[in-house]
Chains A and B, each alone.
Chain A
Amino acid sequence: MKNSSVKKDFIMPIVVLSVICLIVSGALAVTNRFTAPTIADAARLRADSAMHELIPDASAFTELDATGLPTNVIEAYAAKESDDAKHVDGYIFTVSATGYGGSGSVKIMVAVNTDGRVKATKTLANGETKGMGSRVSEPDYESQFVGMDDTLTGYNAVSGATISSKAYSGAVADALAAYKILNQGAAQ
């Protein structure tokens, strides 16, 4: 009698909870198996289409070694007309910067022309305060970088959102610095 109440009070709850945990984990592992490739494919496709949007003329983007570039630069790509073309049409850098939302809360892609000027920028992620810092992703702010070189002459921050603007413009500056490093490497 006593034995059965111990079983009922302690063993059963633990067994049931553990079994449920196991079944749930198993089900998740199976789902993960099926969705993981799709998620990876979709991510690649998104990155490709974002790059294509920035440099429409190019159709091949070769990933470059990002070591030695500013630490905020996560990825670097060379844009070419085709995979085996020698001529590089421009570079694309994925840069993450620290805003209010923590490091990486502003993540952008910067396309740099071969003359060292910004061709276009695109926001990949913006975790800044809605209606305030989030305005750095609006065309009014983003489009001003087009044609700028690394002096960022004529740059205007979004008023009332200095820190988010600083994160964004800093990311653009990092991309231009990364371009310089790559270009020097190529010249030598």
Chain B
Amino acid sequence: MKTLVFIILSAALVNNYVLRQFLGICSFLGVSRELKSASGMSYAVIVVMLIATAVTYPIQKYLLDANNLGFLQTVVFILVIAALVQLLEIAIKKYMPPLYRALGVYLPLITTNCAVLGVTIANVAPDRAYTFAEAMMNAFGSGLGYLLAMVIFSGVRGHTEDANPPKSFRGLPLTLISAAILSLSFFGFSGVVENLFG
């Protein structure tokens, strides 16, 4: 139990995918302009990360590794994610229209979101030896970290829009500088986790 909590916290706070490991930067910069879209995108990412891990982990362990087909990992994983996103889109459109209205627009962005492919590959990395439960917790924690970064950052961006920086720093450079400061502040979390588990 303690290990699982540790995995979630370190994935969400210490090894934050966006702010520490530079995964999913495109969507972090592209969709974080408003709280509503930032959180909507993050929920979609969490859902897909969890489902994708639940599907790719057994595929890797029982299909690819068992048959010495490890070299097909990247191809299989990206296809699985692409197919999953398509199916998810069809399914929630049909059965959960309110959810579709909330998350539908983000789903096409998720196939090419490197955080999703990244977490599925990291979960089956040979030097990690995660169990299925640990892999799911890592996926959840990573998604949670993404949500946290997106939500905080959408708040920051609300303020930078009114700022008046030098001309050449307007737009993306200013956004990146804000991201740097946010990333710096996440260093503090490692102290929290250190004290909880150290």
A129→B75 contact, CB < 8 A: no
Question: Does A103 contact B190, Cβ atoms closer than 8 Å?
Answer: no
B129 interface contact, C-beta 8 A: yes
- Distance, CA A102 to CA B138, complexed state (A): 9
Most buried by A among B20, B122, B198: B198
B10 interfacial by beta-carbon distance below 8 Å? yes
Whether the pair A160, B194 counts as a contact (CB closer than 8 A) is: yes
Cross-chain contact B10 with A100 (CB below 8 angstroms): yes
A160 and B128 contact, CB distance less than 8 A: no
* B193 and A104 contact, CB distance less than 8 A: no
Residues of B within 8 A of A25 (CB): 72, 75
B130 contacts A102, C-beta separation under 8 Å: yes
Asked if A105 is an interface residue, CB under 8 A from chain B, the answer is yes
Q: Is B60 an interface residue (CB 8 A)?
A: no
Q: Nearest residue in A to B122 (C-beta to C-beta)?
A: A102
Which of A96, A100, A160 has the most B CB atoms < 10 Å from its CB?
A100
Interface residues on B, range: 20 to 34
Q: What 1/0 mask marks residues of chain A from 21 to 38 whose CB sits below 8 Å from any chain B CB?
A: 100110011011000000
Interface residue? B50 (CB, 8 A): no
| B34 touches A (CB below 8 Å) | no
Say if the beta carbon of B197 comes within 8 Å of chain A: yes
Decide if B71 touches A103 in the complex (CB within 8 Å): no
Q: Does B134 contact A (CB under 8 A)?
A: yes
Encoded as 1 (CB less than 8 Å from any A CB) or 0, chain B from 98 to 123 comes to 00000000000000000000000010
Judge if B15 is at the interface, Cβ distance under 8 Å.
yes
Q: Of B72, B127, B129, B191, which contacts A127 at CB under 8 A?
A: B127
Contacting pair A129 B14 (CB below 8 A): yes
In whole angstroms, what is the CA distance A28 to B74 when docked? 11
A45 at the interface (CB under 8 A from B): no
Query: CB of A107 within 8 A of chain B?
Result: yes
Shortest C-beta distance, B186 to chain A (Å), equals 10
**A-B residue pairs in contact (CB < 8 Å), sample of 20:** A21-B75, A28-B72, A32-B71, A100-B10, A101-B128, A102-B122, A102-B130, A102-B138, A103-B128, A103-B129, A104-B129, A129-B15, A129-B190, A160-B190, A160-B191, A160-B194, A161-B190, A163-B193, A163-B197, A163-B198
In the complex, given contacts A102-B134, A160-B191, A163-B197, what are 4 additional A-B residue pairs having Cβ atoms less than 8 angstroms apart?
A100-B10, A162-B194, A163-B194, A163-B198
Q: Which 6 A-B pairs have the closest CB atoms?
A: A162-B198, A104-B127, A32-B71, A100-B10, A102-B128, A162-B194
